[in-house]
Amino acid sequence: MISRLAILRDPMIAVLLLATLLAAVFPSTGETRIIAETVSAGAIFTLFLVNGMRISRGEILQGLRNWRFFLPLGLWVFGAMALAGLGLAQLAAGVLPPLVALGFLFLGVLPSTIQSATSYTTMANGNAALSVIGAALINIVGVFVSAPLFALLGGGDAADTGSSVIVRIALLLVLPFLLGQAVQGWTMHWIAERREKIVWLDRIVIGIAVYVAFSGAVEQGIGQAMEAAGWAWLFLLVVVFLVAANLGVWLFAGVLRLPLRDRIAFLFAGSQKSVAVGAPLAALLFPPAVAGYVIAPLLLYHLIQLMAAAPLAAILARQVLHLRD
């Protein structure tokens, strides 16, 4: 059933919770942190290499040709959502530790998540092909845009956005993706045959990045910095962000007069945020002691978005069926 709680059906939630729990109980410190960071960097390179192999160049070109869908989607994700993140970061600064509050800005500049946006679009009987292309293109743009946009909107003081980090982003995110695009003619069939197994690569890499980030936060005392009231405020502000994102993108798609099935694709591609890009990017932009604080809103947003999207998809699916009847 679509309406089942996502926590019972999405292994990504279990991976995030397990990585956070391991970091809380057995954080990587000292020499083990160096090893963990090296493993994380290698895993990130591998993930983006595979992403380059599995996102078809034909899909990219098709999405670029459909600029009436893609351009407004990009403006929403990197414009409206980024500004909303900035506003919430400023609001949260009064009730949360500064680095956790900054996490709302980081959350706002991130691209969409391909897998869940496509899955829930399909569940809702939306235009799944358009969702795949739109979310994939937004992810590609995000590799180039999210970090400088974060620095431009005021996060540069906390993040390392100098030339050395630009080089690391190029080597660990951009270069492997371009290599994957270059060889996908030889690897596409191999990737397609192993699609279900490769999904676990995403989850494992994200789990490693989250573990390294939260290990640093645990070592710096995030448990003491965030009391019960702070966690309650964090939860409330994340819910506000998610509700505003879904309502805003749905209304925006209505203003664009998109057909219902395209509007559903626009909704999920525009409101779902990618921990698959966010966790690796945080590992490159921030030292571990900072990254764990900054990605806290992202992880909570990701968990809640998965659980909220299932019943929402069920409601939209009934609307589509009603129109067909």
- How do residues 162-204 score in pLDDT, each as one tens digit? 566 677 777 777 788 888 888 888 887 887 777 777 778 777 8
Mean pLDDT of 216-229: 75
pLDDT of residue 1: 43
Query: How many Cβ atoms from other residues are within 10 Å of residue 51's Cβ?
Result: 24
Rounded Cα distance between 129 and 59, Å, is 9
Residue type, 279: A
pLDDT confidence of residue 51: 75
Residues 42 and 205: their CA atoms lie apart, in Å, by 9
Q: What is the pLDDT of residues 62-84, one digit of tens each?
A: 666 778 888 999 999 999 999 99
The DSSP-derived string for 94-141 is TTS-HHHHHHHHHHHT--B-HHHHHHHHHHTT--HHHHHHHHHHHHHH
Q: Which has more confidence, 238 or 16? A: 238
Share of the chain above pLDDT 70, in %: 90
pLDDT category of residue 138 using cuts at 50, 70 and 90: confident
Is the pLDDT reported for residue 16 higher than 90? no
Show the 3-state SS of 186-255.
HHHHHHHHCHHHHHHHHHHHHHHHHHHHHHHHHHCCHHHHCCHHHHHHHHHHHHHHHHHHHHHHHHHHHH
DSSP character string of 44-66: HHHHHHHHHHHS-HHHHHHHHH-
- Residue 99 carries which side chain, given as an amino acid letter? L
Asked whether residue 284 carries a pLDDT value surpassing 60, the answer given is yes
How is domain 6-324 classified at the architecture level of CATH?
Answer: Up-down Bundle (1.20)
Decide if 321 contacts 196 (C-beta within 8 A). no
Whole-number Å distance between alpha carbons of 40 and 283: 8
- 4 pLDDT higher than 90: no
In angstroms, rounded to a whole number, what is the distance separating the alpha carbons of residues 296 and 16? 11
- pTM for this model (two decimals): 0.81
